[in-house]
Amino acid sequence: MQLVVWLSVVLSVLYSQGTGACPDKCSCSRSPYCNGTDVNCYGIGLSVVPGNIPTDTCNIRLSNNKIRTIPAGIFDNLVNLRELSLGSNYITTLPDGIFDNLVNLRELHLSYNGIKTLPNRTFDALVNLQKLSLDKNKIRSLPDGIFDTLLNLTELRLKGNQITTLPDGIFKALVNLRILYLNGNRITALQHEIFGGLLKLYSITIENNPLRCDCEMFAFMRFAKTRQLQLEPYWKGEEPSCQNPLSLKEILLKDFILQDIVCDPVSTTGSDLNTTSAVTNVTSSNYSFTTTDASTARPVITVTGTKNTKVTVPGDPSELLSIQKEMLELTRQDIAIKRDILQTFKAFVARKTKKNRKKGKKLL
């Protein structure tokens, strides 16, 4: 193993010397993936992007340095580039047209910087791009059409930014997108129409957002359930949950909203919880009950006693949780009654058996 590592280092040095164009402190080697050079400048303390990058470079790693700015035109001659890694630097802006000549680029990594805005048409030339990483920046908004040419994109990472809203049609062109990371932003609403055309999408991360659980969110969850979208968290234990309204705070989406909650067709904005109704399945025995809440003027709720009854609850669906608790308590009481009856029956049988045994002994 040590011999292999040693040979790799030697070959890298010889290749660098042979080309005579490897940036200072970086290492260069023949790329195993394309007919060109791999340039590794990872974590060597660079404060600027080196200017003497070989023109046949296929992959350049500039991550984990101290780069603050990217000079305009620095990548213009790298038409062979397949992967560009600029993550974990101090980049705050992207010059207009900085990626315009990188038509063969497959992966672009810009995560863990301080990028605040994405200039219009930043990614327009990247028609072959498959992975775009913008995690952990300070992006607040996504310009209309910013992803419109990325027809081959399969993975888009936007987690850990400051995005508040997703513009209509922002992902419409991403017909090959499979994985989308949106967790750790400031998103309050998810309109299911935004994802409607993404037929290959199978995973979205949405946890750690201040999600508002209203009709719009209910519609998104129904859409996700129908499309079998995975809403698995990026980190285990951080499930997506409601943060607004306060009555639903910290309720996990999978535990609450996926109950068959439906919204009144009259509600078109999705923001007014008072225009909604809810339906859920319960298991009960033969009983009925009525409950009211004078303090909130909640409508009368009636439950009929057949197994797997569908209960329609008028009013605010945020009240569904308390209603479910009431019904669960009734179910528990019902089970307790059945248990008491069973215990009484068992005691009766035991006494009867004991009595019969005594009679049998007397007869003998």
- Sheet of 261-263: strand order equals 261-263, 276-282, 309-314
Whole-number pLDDT of residue 280: 37
SS3 for 251?
A: coil
Residue percentage of the chain with pLDDT more than 90:
55
305/228: higher pLDDT: 228
User: Which pLDDT band, with edges at 50, 70 and 90, does 158 fall under?
Assistant: very high
**4 pLDDT higher than 80:** no
274/353: higher pLDDT: 353
CB 327 within 8 Å of CB 303: yes
Give the burial class of 100: count Cβ atoms within 10 A of its Cβ; 0-12 exposed, 13-18 middle, 19 or more buried.
middle
- So where are the chain's domains? 273-339
**315 pLDDT higher than 70:** no
Q: Report in angstroms the alpha-carbon separations of 175 from 29, 78, 90, 113, 225.
A: 35, 27, 32, 28, 20
Give residue-wise pLDDT tens across range 29-87.
999 988 999 999 999 999 999 989 999 999 999 999 999 999 999 999 999 999 999 99
Whole-number pLDDT of residue 25: 93
**Which amino acid is located at 79 in the chain?**
V
Whole-number pLDDT of residue 29: 96
**130 pLDDT higher than 70:** yes
Q: Report in angstroms the alpha-carbon separations of 282 from 158, 165, 225, 308, 359.
A: 39, 36, 20, 5, 49
Between CA 32 and CA 30 the distance in angstroms is 6
Between CA 317 and CA 216 the distance in angstroms is 13
CB 147 within 8 Å of CB 126: no
**289 pLDDT higher than 60:** no
Q: Is the whole model's pTM more than 0.85, yes or no?
A: no
Average pLDDT value for the chain: 78
**263 pLDDT higher than 70:** no
Whole-number pLDDT of residue 326: 57
**23 pLDDT higher than 70:** yes
**287 pLDDT higher than 60:** no
Whole-number pLDDT of residue 313: 39
